[in-house]
Chain A
Amino acid sequence: MMSASTIQLYCLVAPIVAVVLIVTVGRVFPILYETINASVAVITFLLTLSLYSALGEGTIESMVLFEPFAGVSIALQAEPLGILFAMMASFLWIITSIYSFGYMRGHGETNLARFNIFFAIAISSAMGIALAANGFTLFLFYEVLTLSTFPLVTHAGSDKARRAGRIYLFLLLGTSVGMLLLALIWTWILTGTLDFRAGGILDGDISKTTLNILLVLYVFGIGKAALMPFHRWLPAAMVAPTPVSALLHAVAVVKAGVFSILKVSIYIFGIDLLQELEVHRYLAYAAAFTIVATAIIALRKDNLKARLAYSTIGQLSYIVLGALVANAAGIVGGGLHMLMHGFGKITLFFGAGAILVATHKTEISQMRGIGRRMPVTMITFLIGSIVIVGAPPTGGMWSKWNLLLGAANTTDWLLLAALIVGSLLSALYLLPIAVRAFYHSPDDGNETIKEAPVSILIALIISAAGCIILFFAPDFAFDLMNMITSSE
């Protein structure tokens, strides 16, 4: 039996094995790319499951890989939140691999080897972020994730892709190097460590001003969380092929951002200290503003992927807000929403990609009536939409409920109002898409449309089923999140 601490390493190595296999076996049989990725994804998911079960038997020991210089190490240590993130990312990777088989080939994309290689590297670094034992390790993998997704964003190689890649890279690199790195080194100078510890490593001895500045640097420095005004990279990244938008820009990359914010709030500041800092309220307002503003922008977007992108930014801010209200319900809600929104949004993106492959349509206004031609796609799309709105019977309800509780606990009605308005608006911008698809008669020229390829449908059904299963069986996620809040 492998010890839990080495399993953590295997979680990172497994996707790299996929890279090796793609380069060697895949070179001879290019048809196997997705199969390789899918089977490695299954293995990765099983590994994270075994981490989950190991967690039941007590804390998992950390694993130090390197010590680049004295006092700072590259180390892995799984804790509940990280395991939740890792399980989600690896499970959705399985679905995405199935999906991508149908999509990339159905859509006639080229350079599949490069695509699949960087995809696997991105997943590996997402695992690194999930399992990082300290801020240093987290930062390393955070940057690797940025760089490895760059070739995916610019996959098309067109001028538009190049421009988008530039925005993508400069915002993510700029915020992380300019602010996050600064904050991390500063923390290191102040405390002499960057380890994630329950209760936080910063304490009250440090001046409040410094702590306030640090919090601002962290929250904005983690640009992947897409808090306004550093959100532009996410809509820009939508030029990427759909599987990338689905897994990376609805799940791995953006969730890595909010995950980092949660980590920083819980394990570097500690909820209690966060409560004492004046600035946490203003940052929460910034998140609230982002929620409402992006919802309004999303309403006005006709391009489906752009609308989904702005929706993502808003939903990310829900999680950021959950972390910043700094109470148990908020943290639980944030962690749950990370999971629920992951399932919901990936379903929506899969749907958008399915429509693109089957009909070559990207604008919402052209999609009237396609529901009758593509029933599976549009029904799953509807389920995904309900998750984002936060209504039963989907898992979205549990996370929204806890987030609302968290906001209510602060007795700051402005935050609560923002959450509710955000949800209502999301109902307005998402639900009509599916509804119109069914209740309108097809436009001219839509009569010949057929349902998307089978592998896409399988992926859609699995992810949509996940959304509903999470409504009935959210216990494991609750357990994980309660482990964190009870250890506080």
Chain B
Amino acid sequence: MLSLHLSALQVVIPLLAAPLCAIIRIPGVTWLIALAVGIASSINSIAILLHINRFGEIVYSLGGWAAPFGIEYRIDSANALILLIISFIYLLGIIYAPASIKTEVPEKSQGWLYTAWILCFTGLSGITISGDVFNVFVFLEVSSLSTYILISFGQDKRCLTAAFRYLVMGTIAATFYLVGIGFLYSLTGTLNMADLAQRLPDLISQNTVAVAFGFVIVGLAIKMALFPFHAWLPNAYAYAPNAVTAFLAGTATKAAVYVFIRLTFEVFPEDYFSGFTSSHHIILAVGIFSAVITSAIAIFQDDLKRLFAWSSIGQIGYIAVGVGLASTAGVAASFLHLFNHSIMKTAIFMAIGGLFFVTGSTTTAALKNAGRRMPWTMAAILIGGLSLIGVPFTTGFISKWYLVSASLEQNFWWLAGLILLGSLVTAAYVWKIVEIAYFRKDPNVKVVRQEAPLSLLIPTWILVVANIYFGVDARFSGSMATQAANTILGVSP
């Protein structure tokens, strides 16, 4: 049946396209290929979603080898949602890319950039749909390696050290993960997630499971830039080319978060995370702490990309809070915020790219007069910022609502208070930007309307409109997130 092959296509298409790009290397052609991959994958991800809503989860054995022996792709509503996010952010990122990287990357390297980009997308898709923990490791490395390359295309030479540091951290992370699944394999003799989920409950009291759990959690925490393993992220986001930052901000950490949720709640025995080891308290504490603290750090940044990179770490903190609540409502809030944060943060970074295109800088000083000079670009940053704060009629508000109600559901009123306190800290750094852009006038400069080109503005504004749309009508995103949480926590709706 063709529909079953959909899942394989999601990985196979980009995997074939990447070497093709590497051979051709003509910027325009490689871009077209990347675009085609994006369109195909986006359509494919929608098809998968529809298929799952209709017929339930897709199980696909790669190469026809049945599960315990072969690699299995298993897609349910949880990873279908993530897949949708990744595919669309990728597509918009590629549409956005040519005008943006034209100013940043020399023409002869652009072909390579698209190659790495497609590979990165392959890896992220693979992580999302694979039902095999070792296969996840391989895709994790595929995406990581190509991300290091993508970052090293930056203009500033500091991108090289940023990429190198990320490489060291990322490799340690992946190896930790590898150790963890090695232990799991030695206990159960399987690498298939579904099989692991079946066999692990009998072994729950073994120390080896706890050790494996620890290694896997730490490895993934580095990958998702969860505080205190976030050190690689600010520089990586700050020095990567603008288009790449926009793409990474919406996708890279998200796939890791997904694997984190999948493993802790589904593969490890029920209640292992929350009941048996009580480690959910740690994640909860770390999450809320980082949400508040890193937002405070963001206030003091002078570079917009770095500022919003810190903000991203804070937002990952919120997602971790939802995970740490270890309830359906909490995990649903996490999935929802994954979705919403991808939309808003990608839009912000795209708009910053537009700012760079016009002013040649991403420092806060470049924002002077920006409110009048490029009203559309600034409005995109403003709306994204408002969404980060959680102002009504933006997606951020819906996320906050879910998260706060999830924490109140367990009577964690102090947590709800802290989440909202985090919003205020967020407001501080967003307002810093607004004040510079709209109030600080340079009297010597005559303001000329000078907007970023349309090819940058259109993808940005698609996301801005999506941000507002899903902020008003959250039925789709909300129900998808709840469904995803129900699936993973094994709750029948």
Residue-by-residue, is A169-211 near B (CB-CB < 8 Å gives 1, otherwise 0)? 1100110011001100110110000000000000000000000
Is B447 an interface residue when CB atoms closer than 8 A count as contact? no
Q: Out of B404, B413, B431, B439, name the residue touching A157 (CB < 8 Å).
A: B439
A139 within 8 A of B: yes
Interface centre among A68, A169, A173, A181 (most CB of B within 10 A): A68
Residues of the A chain whose Cβ atoms lie less than 8 Å from the Cβ of B416: 182, 185-186
With contacts A66-B473, A139-B392, A154-B439 taken as known, whether A185 is within 8 angstroms of B478 at the C-beta atoms is no
Binding stretch for chain A, among B184-192, B231-239, B249-257, B420-428: B420-428
- A90-116 residues at the B interface, CB under 8 angstroms: none
Q: Is A29 an interface residue (CB 8 A)?
A: no
Q: Which candidate, B171-179, B262-270, B393-401, is the interface stretch facing chain A?
A: B393-401
Q: A70–B401 Cα gap in the complex (Å)?
A: 12
What CA separation (Å) do A66 and B431 show in the bound complex? 29
Chain A at the B interface: SS class: helix
B439 pairs with A177, CB closer than 8 A: no
| Shortest Cβ distance from residue B460 to the other chain A in the assembled complex, whole angstroms | 21
Residues of B within 8 A of A69 (CB): 398, 401, 474-475, 478-479
- CB contacts under 8 Å to A, within B373-392, are 386, 389-392
Chain A 147-166 interface 0/1 with B at a Cβ cutoff of 8 Å (1 = within): 10000001001000010001
Collect the chain A residues with CB atoms within 8 Å of residue B228's CB. Answer: none
Quick one: which of B390, B413, B439 contacts A186, CB cutoff 8 A? Answer: B413
- Say whether A61 faces chain B, with CB atoms less than 8 Å apart: no
If over half of B's interface residues share one DSSP class (helix, strand or loop), that class is named, otherwise mixed; here it is helix
CB <8 Å contact, A174 and B475: no
Question: A296: CB under 8 A from chain B?
Answer: no
Whole-angstrom distance between the alpha carbons of A67 and B424 in the complex? 27
A68 touching B404 in the complex, CB below 8 Å, given contacts A157-B439, A157-B441, A178-B424? no
Q: Does B302 contact A (CB under 8 A)?
A: no
Max chain B CB contacts within 10 Å: which of A173, A177, A178, A189?
A177
User: A23 in the interface, Cβ–Cβ < 8 Å?
Assistant: no
A178 touches B417 (CB 8 A): yes
Shortest Cβ distance from A188 into B: residue: B405
In the bound complex, CA of A68 to CA of B476 (Å): 9
Residue B408 contacts which of A140, A173, A186 (CB distance < 8 angstroms)? A186
A188 to B401 alpha-carbon distance, docked (Å): 11
Chain A residue at minimal CB-CB distance from B404: A185
Interface residues on A, range: 20 to 34
CA distance A69 to B471 in the complex (A): 10
Chain A residues near B386 (CB, 8 Å)?
147
Chain B residues, Cβ within 8 Å of A182? 404, 413, 416-417, 420
B409, CB-defined interface residue at 8 Å = yes
Task: Tell me whether A170 and B401 are in contact (CB under 8 A).
Answer: no
Mark interface residues in B418-443 (1 if CB within 8 Å of A CB, else 0).
00110110010001000100010100
Q: Which residue of B lies closest to A161 (CB)?
A: B439
In the complex, how many angstroms separate the beta carbon of B10 from the nearest chain A beta carbon?
29
Check if A144 is an interface residue, CB within 8 A of chain B: yes
A363 close to B (CB within 8 Å): no
- Distance in angstroms from A241 CB to nearest chain B CB is 17
Taking a contact as CB atoms under 8 Å apart, the answer to whether A178 and B420 are in contact is yes
Q: Does A143 make an interface contact (CB < 8 A)?
A: yes
User: Smallest CB–CB gap between A223 and chain B, Å?
Assistant: 13
B403 closest partner in A (C-beta): A185
The answer to whether B400 touches A143 (Cβ under 8 A) is no
- In the assembled complex, the CB of A181 is this many whole angstroms from the nearest CB of chain B, namely 6
Of A66, A173, A178, A185, the contact of B401 (CB 8 Å cutoff): A185
CA distance A154 to B435 in the complex (A): 10
- Among A69, A139, A166, max chain B CB count under 10 A is at A69
User: Counting CB contacts under 8 A, is B66 at the interface?
Assistant: no
Given contacts A69-B398, A185-B416, 14 further A-B contacts (CB under 8 A): A67-B475, A68-B475, A69-B479, A74-B472, A140-B393, A143-B391, A157-B441, A169-B431, A170-B431, A173-B389, A178-B417, A178-B420, A178-B424, A181-B420
Q: Which 7 A-B pairs have the closest CB atoms?
A: A140-B392, A69-B478, A68-B474, A143-B392, A189-B408, A185-B404, A69-B474
Hey, which bits of chain A sit against chain B, CB under 8 A? 66-70, 72, 74, 139-140, 143-144, 147, 154, 157, 162, 166, 169-170, 173-174, 177-178, 181-182, 185-186, 188-189
A-B contact pairs, 19 of them (CB 8 A): A68-B472, A69-B398, A69-B474, A70-B475, A143-B392, A144-B392, A147-B386, A157-B439, A166-B431, A169-B431, A170-B424, A170-B427, A173-B389, A173-B427, A178-B423, A185-B401, A185-B416, A186-B408, A186-B416
